Structures are given as structure tokens and as C-alpha cells.
Amino acid sequence: MPDTALLPDIVLRPAPGPGRVVVVGLGYVGRPLALEAAASGFEVTGFDLDLAAVEAAAAAWRDAPPAPGAGALCATADSRCLPPAEIWLVCVPTPLDAAGRPDLAAVAAALETCRAHIPRGGLACLVSTCQPGATNGLCRRVLERDGWQVGRDVFLAVSPERENPGDAALGPRRIPRLLGAPDAASLARARAFWERVADRVVPVSSPEVAECAKLLENTYRLVNVALMDELHRGFAALGVPTREVVAAAATKPFGFSPFWPGLGAGGHCIPVDPAYLRMEAKRAGATFPLVDAALAANQARPARVLTAMAQAFGGSLVGRRILVAGVTYKPDVADLRGAAPVALLQGLLALGAQAAWWDPLLPAEPQELAGLPRAADPSGRGWADPEAIVLGAPHRALDLGGLAALAPIVFDPFGLVPADAEGRVRVV
Ligand SMILES: NC(=O)c1ccc[n+]([C@@H]2O[C@H](COP(=O)([O-])OP(=O)(O)OC[C@H]3O[C@@H](n4cnc5c(N)ncnc54)[C@H](O)[C@@H]3O)[C@@H](O)[C@H]2O)c1
């Protein structure tokens, strides 16, 4: 544990009295939530094991414009500094382990932290994406240890996060909050809190409904992303522009939601969350062959793009100088977790290409890309003149119209690069 004396700027004394909130986990989800709760008048303490996350949250609050009625936010990496707050939000990661199984270790640890500090009458709310039954199972077990009863001595709810990183217009206040609780008293307390933080709260009949709704949302996205990528290959083979097809279909005012071609869904959620649903469904004897096929298709998408690229080079990528432009998991977000462009880059290197990455959103040497060659700019300067560029993530900061001038071939899995007169752009 760090010595809090070293953190004078970021460890503040939480104000006493009601309206105190602790946000456990200050990452993509916890930090904006902590900021919104503080802006809504709560005295918020952010807690994270990672000092960089603590500093980022404290700095974001310092830099936020002062608002009338705002509360306060402090952040710490030292659990000894945590106040006995009335409200606890669990916003820690729920990844898969090396064998592809749900890993609930961070949620279990965060609940232990909460249990050690939450006062009688406090509310714990699970925000992390978990399997159906996590609230009534894992969370309830920890809170009820030592004789407390949920709904009487302590209160429990789940409000799974639905944020869309990179979409500044849709912060925590704007996205409707699903809310489930095991009992009426817990639901009422959780509702009173969330209605101060979010414009719309959607109570549902049980924690399991809220948990399953979140998993449905991301499973729906996964299946449709995989479907779109499959159809895109067919449309491309037919010489029909996929994006125009989707835009045309999207004029239908009912029964159709557009999905666009890409390099496959990555990140912390879409390829991960269905495994949480599948784990519990399997216990209950249900199987999801369609979801399994979508997961496999999504994982195979970078390899399919590699095959199309190899064909363009006469069957082999050995020795080809290829630049991957944009390597994060989605446009305009500097997050490398589960990033398909990184899988593509690694695939290129494994096939003998002289591949490198370039991404205007990332520092020169992100830890996650250690050992992978980097180009200083999209022209390949500081690395080698590329024979081809493949678009990995179409960030706004990328000049898509200028890519075709930088290499003899531009591979575009998104159908976004404008065609040029020389026919350099290949949709893959
Ligand atoms: N990132 C998204 O777009 C998104 C969207 C919706 C839902 N979610 C879900 O929200 C949850 C959090 O995701 P995230 O993207 O914010 O993760 P993240 O990795 O960005 O942040 C999680 C933070 O929790 C901290 N942490 C881990 N264990 C801890 C512990 N025991 N105590 C205190 N801090 C701890 C980590 O250091 C990290 O800073 C996950 O369940 C995820 O599936 C994420």
C-alpha cells in the first residue's frame, strides 16, 4: 500500500454526514461515474489500487469547471483512508482468465473492501458487468457474512454500466440506468441515489433482469458485428459497397438497426460479456450455438483480413512492409484491450511481414505494444516506406483521404477510405 503522506494533493478528508459515496475502481467506468456523482452534490471518494488511476481521477475533478451544488471528489489508493460511506459503487474489471473463463477476482476483492468499511444501513451497488446471479450470489454472500441481512441491515443493488467510451455526448447522466435489487428497501435506496446522478432510472423486477439486460445488449452487438463482417465479405466479393447497402437498409423505419463492417469487435466488453452469460446458462443446461459461432467468427476476423491481404500480394506476406494505421480497439479511444488491429499486427509479423504500427492516440511506447515495431508517422518515416497500409482503427485524427497517397496499396476493412483514381484502395 502506498504511504498516503506521499499523496497530499489527492487524498482529501471526506466530509462527514450523509451523501458520501465510495467508487471502487476508477477506470473507464468508475472515473466518469465518480465525477458525475461529485458534480451531483455527493462527497465522493474514489478508490483504486492503481496510483495512476487515482491521480487521473483527482486531476479530472480539479480540471472540471466548478458547478453550483457540486459536492467534492477525492481519490486514494490506500483503503485505510476510506470513509464509512453510505453508498458504495463497485466498478472493477470483469475480464476472462487465460482459459477464457470469467474472472471475478476483482469483484470479490472490491466487495471485501466495501464490506470492511460500509456502515449498517449502507448501500452497495454492483456496476461491473457480471453473470446473472452475481448480485444475489457473490455480493449478497459477502455482505451477509457476520450476520447482516440484505434489505434490513445493509442494502444491495445492481446497475450495470452501459457507457460508450469515446462518445462525449453520452456521459453517465445521459444514459438511462437499469436498476435491479433483491428487495424493495434496497431498490428504493438505490433509486434515490441514482435519480440524483442520472436523468433516467429504469427499475426492473430483479437483479437478474438487470444483469441479463446488460449481457443481452452486448451479446446482441457481438452477433450483429459478426453477421455484418460475414455479409461484408459477400458484398465485397460481389463488388457491392457494404456501407451503402447498410445505409440503404437503415432507411427502413422499423425492424432494422445498422451495423457497419470493421476489423471485429474488441475491448473489455463485447467479446467478453457473452462468456459471463454462457457460464451461467450452461449451469442451467442451456447452450448458445449462435453466440459461440459469433464469438469464433469475431475472433477469426483479423485472420480473414490477413488472408485477403496475402492474396493481394500473390499469396505470401513474407518480407512485405506493411503499416497498421490505428491499433486501438475502437476509433478515438486510446484503449488497447482486446484490440483486433493488434491481433492483425501480430498476425502480419507471424506471417513474415515487416509490419509496424502507427497510432496518433498512443504514446510512443505503450507497455502493451512492447517489442512491436512502431513507425513515427503514417508515411512510415523512421521505419520504412510501406508497401501497404492497412486501416486498423479509423480515428478522427487520421486523414483517411490522404492514406492512398502514402502507399501503393491501402487495405480497408471498414469501407471508409475514399477510392482513388489509381485503384490503390482495397476493401477487405
Ligand atoms: N470500458 C467500458 O466501455 C465498459 C462499458 C460498460 C461496462 N463496463 C464494465 O465495467 C467494469 C469496469 O470496466 P472498466 O473498463 O472501467 O475497467 P478498467 O480496467 O478501465 O478500470 C477498472 C479499475 O479498477 C481497478 N481495480 C481493480 N481491482 C480493484 C480493487 N480490488 N479495488 C480497487 N480498484 C480495483 C483497476 O486498477 C482499474 O483502474 C467491467 O465489468 C466492464 O465490463 C465497461
Domain annotation covers residue 135: yes
Same domain, 127 and 223: no
Question: Among residues 235, 262, 293, which one ends one of the domains?
Answer: 293
The reply to whether ligand 1 has any atom less than 6 angstroms from the CB of 42 is no
Domain annotation covers residue 13: yes
| CATH code of the domain containing 174 | 3.40.50.720
Position in ligand 1 atom list of the atom nearest CA 29: 16
pLDDT in tens, 55-92: 999 999 999 887 889 999 999 999 999 999 999 999 99
The reply to whether ligand 1 has any atom less than 6 angstroms from the CB of 30 is yes
The reply to whether ligand 1 has any atom less than 6 angstroms from the CB of 347 is no
Helix (H) or strand (E) holding 37: helix 30-39
- In angstroms, the Cα distances linking 196 to 38, 69, 74, 91, 177 are 10, 12, 19, 18, 12
Q: How far is the CA of 110 from the centre of ligand 1 (A)?
A: 11
Same domain, 104 and 149: yes
Q: Is 258 exposed, middle or buried (0-12, 13-18, 19+ CB in 10 A)?
A: middle
Could you list the residue range(s) of the whole structural domain that residue 244 is in? 214-293
Same domain, 20 and 141: yes
Question: Among residues 155, 181, 205, which one ends one of the domains?
Answer: 205
Least Cα distance to 129 among 264, 25, 22 occurs for 25
Same domain, 46 and 182: yes
Distance separating the N- and C-terminal Cα atoms of the chain: 49
The reply to whether ligand 1 has any atom less than 6 angstroms from the CB of 159 is no
Same domain, 96 and 189: yes
Q: How far is the CA of 106 from the centre of ligand 1 (A)?
A: 9
Same domain, 87 and 25: yes
Same domain, 266 and 147: no
Same domain, 145 and 239: no
Average of pLDDT values for 93-106?
Answer: 93
Domain count along the chain: 2
pLDDT in tens, 167-210: 888 889 999 999 999 999 999 999 999 999 999 999 999 999 99
Question: Among residues 278, 293, 308, which one ends one of the domains?
Answer: 293
Across 222-226, 388-392, 404-408, least confident range = 404-408
Domain annotation covers residue 288: yes
Average of pLDDT values for 211-238?
Answer: 96
Position in ligand 1 atom list of the atom nearest CA 130: 41
C-alpha cell at 373: 515495431
Same domain, 238 and 219: yes
Q: How far is the CA of 214 from the centre of ligand 1 (A)?
A: 15
pLDDT in tens, 367-380: 999 999 999 888 76
